[in-house]
Structure formats: C-alpha cells, structure tokens
C-alpha cells in the first residue's frame, strides 16, 4: 500500500516542478534584436525575454537573463550551433508608387535599417546602398514616411505584415526576396543535455505554437509603436 501511495504521489507531481532545479542564466549574443519595438525598450522587456521565459516554462525550469557571458548557461542570438527561435529572409519596403522597384535601385540611395542588423552590410556591399541606422524597428518605418530613406530594410516576417496594414497603403511595395539571404537566431547551451532538451521543446507542437504567438505579439507591438509615432507626427 505504501509503495502504491508513493507511486501515486510521483505521478501527480506537475511537470513545472522541475523549476526547483538551479535556474539557468541566459545572455544575448550580438547586438541585433529583430523585433525591438521602441528605442527605450531593454532586452528584459522585449521579444527575446518573452521567448526565454516561455522556453523555461515549457522546460519546467526557470531561466533568468544575465549580463556576464562567461557565467551564462545559455546564449541566444547569432550563435552556432543552436535551436532556432527566429528566422526570416531579408526584405525591403518602399513607397507604393515612387519607391525603388528592384534591389539594384538602392545603389547610392539611403535605406533605413535598425542598428545591429546584419542586413545593413549586405545591402551596402551588394547593392551600394547607404545605411541610415535607427534604434528600433518602429523608427525605421517612420524614417520611410519622413522621406529620410528610399526603403526600409528589415526582416520579411515583419515587413510583409506591415505592408498589409491600411495605414501603410502608400508604403506597401515589397522588393522581391533575395535568394540565399536569411537570418537565423537561436539558443545555445553549454550543457549538451540542456541543449537537447531545448531543441526538443522548441521543435515540439507546444513550442512552435508558443513561439509563433510571441513572435506575432511583438510584430503587432512594432506596428503599434510605428502607428503611435506616425500619429504624433501628424499632430505637429
């Protein structure tokens, strides 16, 4: 009877009980934050933090954000090899009627891009464009509306949705995607066992659903912040 009760107790322990293990510490790798919505937004309030917290929940372990790479259990961003949490092809958004129609049209032209974006060097070296950096994704979009650049260069996953919004109907031309130019960001653990668990969780149906939800949430936040900035400009 005692053995039966003990087994029953073990079966009824929730999965989240694993969070009682020592917390994992995660730090960013590189400066690029693809869905940074506002200039003042810190990493702990953004897309990455939301995904890292969700990943911890799915793993049944607490994951905290740290600042010391040498003492971190996990690194996220442009790390290799890794469990992918964000991927997108490069894209460019231009004015519907007067903007560049092809990538080569950016030669010697200014394009708006977020600080830290890996796309900037590619467009400069391949097409001869002139990068103008902004501290958030929303501000790159407003730069286009202010005629500070001929195109916004960013991730396709974001710009496709921006182009579909009615308030962007005058700036909804997307240049064709560039072949073999895709961005992939991921999570890498120092412990191989933890890495395997992360990969299993991230590729599971629950992991994919949660990641898609968080990604959409921050795409919506970028669109909202751009709307707020545009509304502020219209009031002046």
Burial label for 14, CB within 10 Å (0-12, 13-18, 19+), is exposed
Decide if 138 is inside a domain: yes
Decide if 213 is inside a domain: yes
Residue 169 and residue 117 in one domain: yes
Residue 96 and residue 166 in one domain: yes
Please give the residue range of the domain that contains residue 31: 24-85+182-223
Tens-digit pLDDT string for the chain (236 aa): 333 233 333 232 233 334 447 889 999 998 899 999 999 999 999 999 999 999 999 999 999 998 877 789 999 999 988 899 999 999 999 999 999 999 999 999 999 999 999 999 999 999 999 999 999 999 999 999 999 999 999 999 999 999 999 999 999 999 988 878 888 999 999 999 999 999 999 999 999 999 999 999 999 999 999 999 987 765 54
pTM score, whole prediction: 0.86
The contacts of residue 193 (CB under 8 Å, 6+ apart) are: none
Task: DSSP for 25-45, please give it.
Answer: EEEEESS--TT--STT--GGG
Decide if 234 is inside a domain: no
Residue 103 and residue 169 in one domain: yes
Decide if 19 is inside a domain: no
Residue 36 and residue 95 in one domain: no
Number of compact structural domains in the chain: 2
Residues recorded for the chain: 236
Residue 69 and residue 95 in one domain: no
| Nearest-10 crossing angle of helices 205-234, 137-145 | 40
- Burial per residue of 108-134, b for 16 or more beta-carbon CB atoms within 10 angstroms, e otherwise: ebbbbbbbbbebbeebbeebebebeeb
Domain CATH for 98: 3.40.190.10
Beta strand 24-29 with 63-65 is: parallel
Decide if 139 is inside a domain: yes
**Residue 213 C-beta-side C-alpha neighbours within 13 Å:** 9
Decide if 230 is inside a domain: no
């Amino acid at each position: 009877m005692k053995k039966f009760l003990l087994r029953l107790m073990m079966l009824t322990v929730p999965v989240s009980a694993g969070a009682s293990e020592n917390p994992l510490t995660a730090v960013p790798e590189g400066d690029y934050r693809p869905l940074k919505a506002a200039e003042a937004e810190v990493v702990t309030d953004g897309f990455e933090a939301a995904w890292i917290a969700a990943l911890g929940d799915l793993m049944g372990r607490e994951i905290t954000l740290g600042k010391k790479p040498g003492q971190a259990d996990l690194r996220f961003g442009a790390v290799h090899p890794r469990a992918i949490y964000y991927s997108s092809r490069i894209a460019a958004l231009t004015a519907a009627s007067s903007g560049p129609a092809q990538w080569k049209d950016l030669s010697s032209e200014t394009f708006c891009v977020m600080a830290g974006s890996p796309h900037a060097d590619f467009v400069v070296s391949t097409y001869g464009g002139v990068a103008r950096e902004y501290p958030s994704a929303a501000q790159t979009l407003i730069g286009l509306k202010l005629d500070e650049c001929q195109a916004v260069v960013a991730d396709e996953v974001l710009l496709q949705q921006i182009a579909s919004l009615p308030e962007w109907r005058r700036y909804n031309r997307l240049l064709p995607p560039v072949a073999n130019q895709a961005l992939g960001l991921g999570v890498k653990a120092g412990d191989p066992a933890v890495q395997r668990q992360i990969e299993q969780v991230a590729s599971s149906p629950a992991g994919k659903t949660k990641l898609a939800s968080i990604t959409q949430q921050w795409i919506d936040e970028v669109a909202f912040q751009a709307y707020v900035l545009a509304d502020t400009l219209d009031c002046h």
